[in-house]
Amino acid sequence: MNFLKIEWTKKRGVIALLATGLIVTSFVLGGYVATGSWNPWGHRHYYQNLDVNFGYCVSGSQNFCNSVHNVMYNTGVAWIDQVIQGTTGAVTNGCFPSGTCGMSFIALSGSAVTLLAGDSSFGVSGGNCGAAGAEGGTEITAANGLQRAVATTNTLLSGPTLSTSVLQKTFTSTANGQIVQVACLVSFGTASSASSIQLAAASFTAVTLNSADTIQITWTLTWSWS
């Protein structure tokens, strides 16, 4: 009888050991699936994504709305990261957020350009709409109703993941024959300034605005996290 008890104890020990091994294996495999790391304690699958979307509406001598793909500049995204995580009150490029600096200004260009994420989107030249990197365009700066301006609608993020913030500005043309085909989201209210850095830009089919025509630019920022 004692022999049987010893054998049963051994069997239970083996079963418990196998069960523990299966639990640990499942934990490690589950951690790898979730995080891509074999060390489940070394990394947690938390993330934060920023999705920037662009749309515009034209009214007056023509009436339509459209949305197109936009480009987020690497330098603009780096600026946001430095603003969030920095502790020195300074950024590498552009201005640090203040009463006159924030990613809440909208600029326009009439130039036909190719937008690339790697374009340097800051500085006296590169911070201008349509002129980042090698784009070679020029920002509209004449006092014709289409010059750079702060968004008149600026709804800040609130709520859970997938919440949005909206930046919107309606420009009214004060002259005939004005071409617009690029819109940019920028950090400073004055063009050709070292304080200016662009977060994103969108190129669309050229629109010719006459006096009293309007173009409403809308940037929608969607934040998701887990």
Of 102, 101, 163, 92, nearest in space to 122 by CA: 92
Give the pLDDT confidence score for residue 21 in this predicted structure: 53
Neighbour count for residue 109 (Cβ, 10 Å):
25
Q: In Å, what is the CA distance from 173 to each residue of 66, 142, 178, 205?
A: 19, 11, 8, 18
Q: Is residue 117 predicted with pLDDT exceeding 80?
A: yes
Do 154 and 171 lie in one domain? The reply is yes
What pTM value is reported for the model?
0.78
Do 85 and 164 lie in one domain? The reply is yes
Which residue(s) pair with 188 in the sheet?
101
Joined together, the tokens standing for residue 35 give 């995080």
> Distance between CA atoms of 63 and 65, rounded to whole angstroms?
7
> Distance between CA atoms of 72 and 209, rounded to whole angstroms?
26
The DSSP-derived string for the chain is -HHHHHHHHHHHHHHHHHHHHHHHHHHHHHHHHHHS-S-TTT-----EEEEEEEEEEEESSS-EEEEE-EEE-HHHHHHHHHHHH-SSS--SSS--SSSSEEEEEEEEE-------TTS--BHHHHTSTT-STT----B--SSSS-S-EE-SEEEPP-SSTTEEEEEEEEEE--SSSEEEEEEEEEEESSSS-TT-BEEEEEEEEEEEEPTT-EEEEEEEEEEEE-
Q: Average pLDDT for residues 215-224, to the nearest whole number?
A: 92
Domain end point (choices 28, 45, 62):
45
Q: Is residue 26 predicted with pLDDT exceeding 90?
A: no
> Quick check: 52 and 185 in contact, CB under 8 A?
yes
- Name the residue with tokens 């989107």: 121
Do 95 and 154 lie in one domain? The reply is yes
| Amino acid letter, 44 | R
Do 85 and 155 lie in one domain? The reply is yes
Number of domains within the chain: 2
Q: Is residue 210 predicted with pLDDT exceeding 60?
A: yes
pLDDT in tens, 63-92: 999 999 999 999 999 999 999 888 888 899
Q: Is residue 10 predicted with pLDDT exceeding 90?
A: no
Do 21 and 109 lie in one domain? The reply is no
Do 90 and 11 lie in one domain? The reply is no
Do 218 and 179 lie in one domain? The reply is yes
Give the pLDDT confidence score for residue 37 in this predicted structure: 57
Percentage with pLDDT > 90 across the chain:
67
Do 108 and 195 lie in one domain? The reply is yes
Do 125 and 162 lie in one domain? The reply is yes
Do 21 and 116 lie in one domain? The reply is no
Q: Average pLDDT for residues 34-53, to the nearest whole number?
A: 62
- The residue segments making up the domain with residue 39 are 1-45
Do 33 and 98 lie in one domain? The reply is no
Q: Is residue 35 predicted with pLDDT exceeding 80?
A: no
Do 41 and 52 lie in one domain? The reply is no
Q: Is residue 27 predicted with pLDDT exceeding 60?
A: no
